A = this chain, B = another copy of it.
């Protein structure tokens, strides 16, 4: 490998002080140096192989080497490991990620999009997609490179890296059937997201096959993917007085909310009710009732999304594709055979 060219090398060749090179390469101070000197230094830097520096080439190409990443809920620990995969992959090509948290708020999503556009990001990775999504539409309209992660839109007009949600729900249900459960409830997520919709539809389809009993009162969808929605849903299910021995949830935070509702009724998991989650977010193995859940490949989701976006940006690859990754069932202590089996 060649010695990495640094600012001092460029300064020596250009016959200027290193601080002058530094000023030229820094967008914030670039204007402090005369245009002629600036251009000469950039040319030398490029010839010497220093041109791969994002800032140096960004000044000439108009690239910002910055990717905007929008996530719907910073408090949901499933996103950090996905973002880490994105960051690591972007860094390999000299890009950095700036993140924004929309707090599941459509108005915030639009404000963030505007701000990121104004900050000249080279592309966007959105974990915020709704089945109909005006932010995604706006990116398509403005021809901003965008890749969706975890969720996609109904129109499938942009590249997305998602999970095989139907497979995940089938793995959870099959696991519960194998344990002997025959009456299963479902605590789902927001129906305006692809994950909420797909997981709900998958559960209903399995129910219709007749391998277990359920009831429309036992099949609920929360308005959000959080503990409050899971708790409220579980309370409603419990109030129905209908018999069930297990709950499939569409998300780990919903599952934690179900734990809370059970605890309030002095019911215990898995002794009274088995619970499955979805995502395998960090720390789920450390809970007092370690959660049986579907592990989505967090790192791979991030890596694949970043690679697809970079391919679009660097090689103008305009292919639109949906990458669907397989979740894996992780069996832990929150599921067991039903007491009265």
Q: From A38-46, A187-195, A279-287, give the one contacting chain B.
A: A279-287
Distance of A234 Cα from B256 Cα, bound (Å):
30
Q: A55 and B101: CB pair below 8 A?
A: no
State whether the Cβ of A331 lies closer than 8 Å to any Cβ in chain B.
no
Chain A 22-48, CB within 8 Å of chain B: the 1/0 string?
000011100000000000000000000
- 5 A-B residue pairings within 8 Å (CB atoms): A28-B114, A96-B108, A99-B101, A283-B287, A287-B288
State whether the Cβ of A213 lies closer than 8 Å to any Cβ in chain B.
no
- Knowing A96-B111, A256-B286, A288-B288 touch, does A117 contact B28 (C-beta < 8 A)? yes
State whether the Cβ of A87 lies closer than 8 Å to any Cβ in chain B.
yes
Residue in chain B with minimal CB distance to A80? B74
Residue in chain B with minimal CB distance to A291? B286
**A279 shortest CB reach to chain B, Å:** 14
Q: B118 and A64: CB pair below 8 A?
A: yes
State whether the Cβ of A303 lies closer than 8 Å to any Cβ in chain B.
no
**A6 shortest CB reach to chain B, Å:** 12
Distance of A84 Cα from B72 Cα, bound (Å):
12
State which residues 272-315 of A face B: CB under 8 Å: 282-283, 286-288, 290
**A57 shortest CB reach to chain B, Å:** 13
Residue in chain B with minimal CB distance to A282? B75
- Knowing A114-B55, A117-B28, A118-B27 touch, does A96 contact B87 (C-beta < 8 A)? no
State whether the Cβ of A103 lies closer than 8 Å to any Cβ in chain B.
yes
A115 to chain B: which residues have CB within 8 Å? 54, 64-66, 96, 98
Copies of this protein chain in the complex = 2
Q: A87 and B66: CB pair below 8 A?
A: no
State whether the Cβ of A18 lies closer than 8 Å to any Cβ in chain B.
no
State which residues 107-137 of A face B: CB under 8 Å: 108, 111-112, 114-120
Chain A 80-96, CB within 8 Å of chain B: the 1/0 string?
11011001000100001
A118 to chain B: which residues have CB within 8 Å? 26-28, 55, 58, 64, 66
Distance of A58 Cα from B55 Cα, bound (Å):
24
**A301 shortest CB reach to chain B, Å:** 15
A185 to chain B: which residues have CB within 8 Å? none
State whether the Cβ of A180 lies closer than 8 Å to any Cβ in chain B.
no
A96 to chain B: which residues have CB within 8 Å? 100, 108, 111-112, 115
- Knowing A55-B118, A100-B97, A290-B288 touch, does A75 contact B84 (C-beta < 8 A)? yes
Distance of A100 Cα from B326 Cα, bound (Å):
29
> Max chain B CB contacts within 10 Å: which of A87, A99, A108?
A99
Distance of A101 Cα from B99 Cα, bound (Å):
8
Q: A74 and B66: CB pair below 8 A?
A: no
Q: B26 and A114: CB pair below 8 A?
A: yes
- 16 more contacts with CB within 8 A, not counting A98-B115, A119-B119, A119-B120, are A26-B118, A27-B117, A28-B117, A54-B115, A66-B115, A66-B119, A74-B83, A75-B81, A83-B101, A87-B101, A98-B100, A99-B100, A99-B101, A286-B287, A287-B287, A288-B290
